[in-house]
Structure formats: structure tokens, C-alpha cells
Structure 1
Amino acid sequence: MENMLVLANPKTLLSISAEIVSKNVSSQSEDVKLLPLNLKSKLLNLMSKRGILDAISLSSLLSFHELTLDLSESSLDDDCLAAARGCSRLQTLNLNPGKNQAHKFSSQAMLQLFPSLSSLTILYMRRCPAVSDEVIGLISKSCMKLTQLDVGGCNLITDKSLDHIATGLENLTSLNISYTQVSDDGIAILSRGKCRNTLSELLMNECPRITERGVSCIFSNFPSMKYFFFHGCAISVLNVQFVQTHAATPRVVLSADAKANFMDNLLRLLHRILNGSFKERLNGFD
């Protein structure tokens, strides 16, 4: 007993077999299709984490039983999205590209995918170049159960997308529109939309077309808002006091970067006053 080698968490025969099969799914796709659902699920999870999923493996492994699909670590093309059309019960879909992945699927492939995913509640599509206003319009009509939507970094997104979201997604609680082309007008449309009472988290960092008008609109029209981030937006220093007063309420949390940005702007304003650049304006109040 003293000389016995004890392995910590030894791999099971099933785990070893899954690893071997995962490396040969593409060449054995027809045989893989015949596997039981629990084995397919194990292979899908393993290949997803390793970022080795492709159109052939997805076609062999996916079924309408899937509830969650994470494709963030794999390089995707149109055929990959086509393989996911049969997942009609899917509730969570992650299309965020990983650090070393560049998605090559088109807007047309997305337009063909989402009509079959009406059960989706969580959708991540950060930095996907194919995401357009047209795609968001279709999602808002086809995936009306969505509660979380992340399109941060999708630079084709404009106010039209916010119009679609406002019209169709009444259950939305979390929205990321950072690094997009949305403006104050789009925020105004969103504030009148179906999700105005449910939205509790909004990220719109680095949106240069959003000013204090858009920020004020958020504070005034979203009663459930708890987390609100807008670092990098075109916020005037003259609106600092208003924002800080409202941000002090429990329902809004500013990012540290946003607070630092306000302080920097305030210091610049004081510097300009001390250097006389506001002399004429100040003389008007004498």
C-alpha cells in the first residue's frame, strides 16, 4: 500500500474516448450522428471549449434538444450558422469571438438563422462585423423572449436598431450597445419602448454621438435601471453636477472610468476659468 501510486482525479474511459473522438469528428461524421444524445452533448461541450468546432462537427452533434450553445472559441462561417438552425429550443447563444477568432459569417447567414430560434433569451454577438440594423430588426421580431442582448462593438449598429429593440423586445433587462453608432435620438426612442420598465443594465461606453441629452433621458425614463455605464460619451462638463447627483441614487452605478472622466473634465473647466477663457461669460454675471 505504501508504494501504490494514487492518481488525483483519474480520467475515466468515457473521458479518454471523448477526447479521441473529438479529434476525428469531421472524418467520422456519419458515425458520430448515431451516438446517443448524452455523448453528443459531452463531445459538443469539449470541442466548444477547445475552439475546434466547424460546420461538419456542428451538423453531426447539434440537435433540437440543445438549450445552450457557446461558439465563442471557434472560427465560424455561414455553414456553421446553418448547422445551428435546427436548435429550435435554444435559449442561450454565444457568438462573441474569442481572442484569436475572426468570425467570417455573413449578415445573410444570420438572417436565415434567427427565425428558427424563437426560444432565445440570452444572445451575445459582441464585435461581430455581420451584425447590422437589418439583423437586429429580424431578431426583435423572431426572438421576442430575449432578456439579454450584447451587440457591443458591432459598428454597423445605428439608431434604427434601437427602434427595432424598442418595438419588439419587451422583456429585455440587459443591453450592451457600446462602440456603436447610436445617438441621443436612438436613446430617446428606446426610452419610449416596450423595455423601458424592465431594462436594468445598460452599457453604452464610447458612443461619441451620445451626449448629456441621452444620458439624462436614461436617468429620467428607466425606473428599473441599476447598472449604467457611459464612459467615453460626449458628456459636457456643465452636466457633471446633474449626473453625479443622479448617479448617487442606489439604482445607478457609474464605472470608475466614467467618474474619473468627469473629474478630468471638471479640472479642465476650472483650468480654463482660472486662465481667463471664461472671462467674458463671467463678466456677464457681475
Structure 2
Amino acid sequence: MGGVCSRKRGHQVNEDGVRIGISGRYCKSGSSKWLLGSPYCKTAAAFQLEGGSCPSLMELCIRKIQKDIDEYSSFYMLPRDVSQQVFDELVSSHCLADGSLEAFRDCALQDICLDDYPGVNDNWMCVISSQGSSLLSVDLSGSDVTDSGMALLRSCSNLQALALNYCDHITENGLKHFSGLQNLMSLSLKRSYAVTAEGMRAISSFTNLLELDIERCSGIHGGFVHLKGLKKLKSLNARYCRCITNSDLKAISELTNLEELQVSCSGITDVGVSYLKDLEKLVLLNLEGCQLTAACLDSISALVALSYLNLSRCGLSDQGCDKLSGLKNLKVLNLAFNNITDACLVNLKGLTNLETLNLDSCRIGDEGLANLAGLLKLKTLELSDTEVGSEGLRHLSGFLNLESVNLSFTLVTDGGLKKLSGLTSLKSLNLDCRQITDAGLAALTSLTGLTHLDLFGARISDSGTHCLRYFKKLQSLEICGGGLTDTGVKNIKDLTSLTLLNLSQNYNLTDKTLELISGLTGLISLNVSNSRITSEGLKHLEPLKNLHSLCLESCKVTAADIQKLRSTALPNLVSSRPE
């Protein structure tokens, strides 16, 4: 299904649509403590004027300092909140360098986020550690800091959050330097070679730790025994650690405060899952890619507090699915890429709190969808690559809260799309189906709230693009079925909310297309691969100052052309594929 222009994105482990990773970090600014939504979010000041409003005096001062940064040797005498904002803004604008960093020595900064910032090495650590007991959070992910540099952090005794993801130069010995950081509550060490079974011994001293992220650490089998004393631990992310086995889960089976556990793509089997039965506070369990059977569902059924459960790619069948019916608190359920049929869906009728259901690549048909009729809180429904057809869509008519539906690679036709016309809350719709044409797009014009529309493999022609004028809120649009010319792009040029536009595979597009979309200044990502666009047309992209990603594969454009465009007009362009 889908035709030669379509692409199937479900062959990789799906990390979208569900809450993944550490739940949050503690960040202190001034006298306020906030629990933020992402592990190590940047707090850089953003001085963009909204609605023509006048900037504050503080904003004007910080702009002036940033402009004249080379004239200052120290910010020691500035109030801490001012020096913190200046630091954050320099990082955000990529203006922080060795020289300007020195001005922040002994400034009592509380948050230093240098995630993937270029040039960070041991030379930076003297200034970072000089913040002393004021420093509460540090993110040095992707840096070249070594064990020697990390040793300097021992003086930052109040550190609460530390991220060292992808730091290839830190070893087991480097972790030992952290033993005195007794206030540490959040530690992230993704793909760290330092985190071996023995290296995890250093983590055992962090008795106040609430969140631990050791995703993609390949040598940790046997190291979970060092976590036994972390009785306050609430979140453990060990995704993609294939070395983890059942004995590792047995070692943490008494961490009864655990609320989130992720061990996807590991060596866990039914036996390992059985060790989790006493974790009564567990609300998130990710077992994606573990080879399980119906027996694991017996153990999972005891975890009645679960609100998120990922069993994708676990080799499950309909057998044992009746155990799911007792998980009344479930809000997110992922059963994708399992050998389940309509018979399994009968057991989901009572899960009335479900907001997200993923059935990608399951053997689900029209009759099975009838069992979902009572799940009126559903916001996201993934039906890609199932046997669902037009007739089955009538069972979705009552889902008035539905915001996202994926019908790619299904049997749905133009006529069936009329049954979606009443779902006015829809924001995202994926119709990567070769059988969808202009008529199907016309049936969707009542869905004026759509912000994402994927018609990658659909056969949309110039004529069909007239319907796009109804979707004024579109932020993401993909039309790649090969039927567009410059004429059709005229109906796209006024969709000023677009940030992503994918028109690849439309061979008849020319430089005129780039001229037409030159007014879409909000674009961040643009793909016009496999078209007749040439180097001459690149001048029309110069107004797109927000463009970060540009794909021009199989066009008459060279890498040198892209480099010239980046250096002269598009400084924010960080990703390009010219040939």
C-alpha cells in the first residue's frame, strides 16, 4: 500500500506521541523553584517584541551588555539575576566564548546549560565551578570535558541537576568525583561509556536522587544492584540498554517510590516483568521491543496506577489481552507492531480514560473500531498500516476530542474521509495513502483547525490544492505524490503559518515555486527534492531568515551554492542536503 512515492516511518522504534524520558528537573532562579517540563531546558532570555510592545529597562540593559560584551572583564558586581540573564542570552545567541566566559567567574550563577555548545572543555570548568554553592544545575552534554574537569565540580555542593549526556571523555573515575554531591536530585548520563556496572557504584551515594537517565549505556548489566539504596528514586530511564536482563529488574524491585520505568529494547522477559508487581506507584512503564508473552500481562495487570503503557514490538497476540481491561487509569496505550486483531480491542472498551491509542501495523479492521466507541477522551489515534477502511471511519464520528489521526497505509478512500468532517478538534491528519486524491482533500474542508496535514503519497494535483485555502492554521504540510506544478504552489503561498513544507517528489516544480513561497517567512524546514529547481532559484529563499533545514536532493544545486546562500543570507541554516 502507499505507492512508489510513499514512505513508511514505522520501521524504527517509535518515540513520538508519548511522554518519553525524565519527567522534569529542578531549576532555581532567584528565590523561586520551578519544576520544568524537560530535563534540562534552556532559560535564555528571549527579547522578541510582541505586538509592538516596548522592551523593559532590564531587556535594554542586557541587550547593551551583549552588544559590548568584549568591553567587560567581570560581572562580579552585578546582581545575580542580571548576570544569569546575560549568560543565558550569550549562550542562546552562540556568542559565549573563552574570553567572555571569564567575565562570569564568581558570579554565583545558578543554572549553566551548555548542551551541545561548541568548544566546551576542561578550560571552561574553572569558571563553571567558581559559582560554588550557588550552582544548582549544570548541563555539559556533548562536551569535551574530561575526568580532570569534572573533579572541579566537587566544590558545587548544592548541585541538584547534572547532565553529562554523550560525554565521551568521562570515565568511571570521573564519576567518583561526584560522591560528595549529596543534594543531587537529577542525573542524566545518556550514552556514557563511564556508566559500567562498576561505574554505577558511584551513583549509589546519591540518596536524594529522584531521576536517573542512563539511556543507551551499553555496559551496565549487573550495575542495578548499586541502585538499591536510592529509595527516593521516582524515574529510571534505561532505554536501548540491550545488556539489561531480568536480574537487573530484580535488583530494583524494592524501589517502591518508582513512578516511571523505561527499559525498552532490552533483554527483559516475562520473568523480569514479574519483579515489578510490587511497584504500586508506577504510572509509566515502557517495555517496547522486549520479547514478552501473555504471561507478562498477568504481572502488568497488578500495576493499577499505570497511566502510560508501551508494549510496542513485544511479539504479543490476542492471548492475555483481557488483563488490560483492569487498567482503568490508562491514558496512553501503545500496542503497535504486535500480532493483535479486533479480538484484542474488545478488552479496551472499559478504558474510558484513554487519550492516546497506538495500533500501528496491527491486524485491526473496521469491525474492531466499533469497540472503541466509548473512548470519548481519545485525542490521538494511530491506525497506520492496518486493515481499516472507509467503512470503519464511521466509528470515529463521536470522538469530538480527537486531535490527531494517522490513516497512512490503510484502505481508506476519498469517500470514507467524509466521515471525518465532524471531527472539528482535529489538528493533525496523516493520509499517506496512494488512493487519496483531490476529492478526498475536498471532503476535509470543514477541518479548519488542522495544523498538520500529511499527504505524502496521496495523488493531489494542482486542482486539489484549491482546498488548502480553508486550512489557514496549517503549520506543517506535506504533498509529495508527484502531481504538483508551480500552478498548484500558488495555493500554498498564502499559508503564512507554515513552519514545515515538504513538496519533494514533484518533478515538475521549478524555480518559480521558490519565488512563490518566498513570502512564507515563518518556514523552518523546506524540502523540494527531486524537482527541477536550480541554483538560479536560490535567490528567492533569501527572505526565509528562519530557515534551519533545506533539502534539495536530486536538484541542479551544488553544496557550494548552499554554502553561499548560508553565508550571505541564511545564517540560521544548519542542515542542508543539496545533492
TM-score by length of 1: 0.75
8 A Cα contact 1:50 1:73, kept in partner: no
The whole-number CA distance in structure 2 between the counterparts of 1:48 and 1:187 is: 36
| 2:249 corresponds to which of 203, 208, 215 | 215
Distance change in 2, residues 1:148/1:243 (3 Å) = farther
Distance change in 2, residues 1:223/1:13 (3 Å) = closer
Secondary structure class of the residue paired with 2:236: strand
More helix by share: 1
Indicate whether 1:104 and 2:144 are aligned. yes
Q: 2:237 corresponds to which letter in structure 1?
A: L
8 A Cα contact 1:183 1:214, kept in partner: no
| 2:236 corresponds to which of 202, 216, 224 | 202
Secondary structure class of the residue paired with 1:109: helix
| 2:212 corresponds to which of 164, 175, 183 | 175
The whole-number CA distance in structure 2 between the counterparts of 1:78 and 1:123 is: 16
Aligned to 1:158: 196
Aligned to 1:22: 66
8 A Cα contact 1:247 1:254, kept in partner: no
| 2:177 corresponds to which of 127, 138, 144 | 138
Distance change in 2, residues 1:211/1:242 (3 Å) = farther
Q: How much does 1:151 deviate?
A: 0.4
The whole-number CA distance in structure 2 between the counterparts of 1:238 and 1:171 is: 29
Any idea what the Cα deviations from partners look like across 1:58-98, whole Å, max 9, x if unmatched? 2212435322222225321222122112111211112234x
Q: 1:68 corresponds to which letter in structure 2?
A: D
Any idea what the Cα deviations from partners look like across 1:103-154, whole Å, max 9, x if unmatched? 222222112x221111111111212222321121111x22111111110121
Aligned to 1:9: 53
Aligned to 1:125: 164
Distance change in 2, residues 1:172/1:34 (3 Å) = closer
The whole-number CA distance in structure 2 between the counterparts of 1:163 and 1:67 is: 28
Any idea what the Cα deviations from partners look like across 1:204-226, whole Å, max 9, x if unmatched? 111121112223433x2211111
The whole-number CA distance in structure 2 between the counterparts of 1:264 and 1:162 is: 33
8 A Cα contact 1:64 1:90, kept in partner: no
Aligned to 2:155: 116
Secondary structure class of the residue paired with 2:103: helix
Q: How much does 1:252 deviate?
A: 6.0
Unpaired runs of at least 5, structure 1: 1-5, 98-102, 271-286
Greater CA deviation, 229-238 or 243-252? 243-252
Alignment of 1:78-97 (within 5 A): 78-88=122-132, 89-97=134-142
Q: 2:54 corresponds to which letter in structure 1?
A: P
8 A Cα contact 1:226 1:251, kept in partner: no
More strand by share: 2
The whole-number CA distance in structure 2 between the counterparts of 1:269 and 1:72 is: 37
The whole-number CA distance in structure 2 between the counterparts of 1:72 and 1:260 is: 30
8 A Cα contact 1:227 1:253, kept in partner: no
Q: How much does 1:184 deviate?
A: 3.5
Distance change in 2, residues 1:216/1:90 (3 Å) = same
Any idea what the Cα deviations from partners look like across 1:27-84, whole Å, max 9, x if unmatched? 2232655545443232112113223322322221243532222222532122212211
Secondary structure class of the residue paired with 1:202: strand
The whole-number CA distance in structure 2 between the counterparts of 1:208 and 1:82 is: 37
Indicate whether 1:230 and 2:263 are aligned. yes
8 A Cα contact 1:148 1:174, kept in partner: yes
% of aligned pairs identical?
14
Determine which structure has more spread, i.e. the larger CA radius of gyration. Answer: 2
Aligned to 1:58: 101
Q: 2:254 corresponds to which letter in structure 1?
A: N
Distance change in 2, residues 1:265/1:132 (3 Å) = farther
Aligned to 1:186: 223
Secondary structure class of the residue paired with 2:73: helix
Q: 2:87 corresponds to which letter in structure 1?
A: L
Q: 1:119 corresponds to which letter in structure 2?
A: N
The whole-number CA distance in structure 1 between the counterparts of 2:222 and 2:74 is: 54
The whole-number CA distance in structure 2 between the counterparts of 1:67 and 1:17 is: 20
The whole-number CA distance in structure 2 between the counterparts of 1:108 and 1:32 is: 26
8 A Cα contact 1:145 1:169, kept in partner: yes
8 A Cα contact 2:83 2:107, kept in partner: no
Q: How much does 1:14 deviate?
A: 4.1
The whole-number CA distance in structure 1 between the counterparts of 2:77 and 2:110 is: 20
8 A Cα contact 1:92 1:122, kept in partner: yes
Unpaired runs of at least 5, structure 2: 1-49, 273-291, 320-336, 340-579
| 1:261 corresponds to which of 313, 325, 328 | 313
The whole-number CA distance in structure 2 between the counterparts of 1:155 and 1:43 is: 34
The whole-number CA distance in structure 1 between the counterparts of 2:247 and 2:317 is: 17
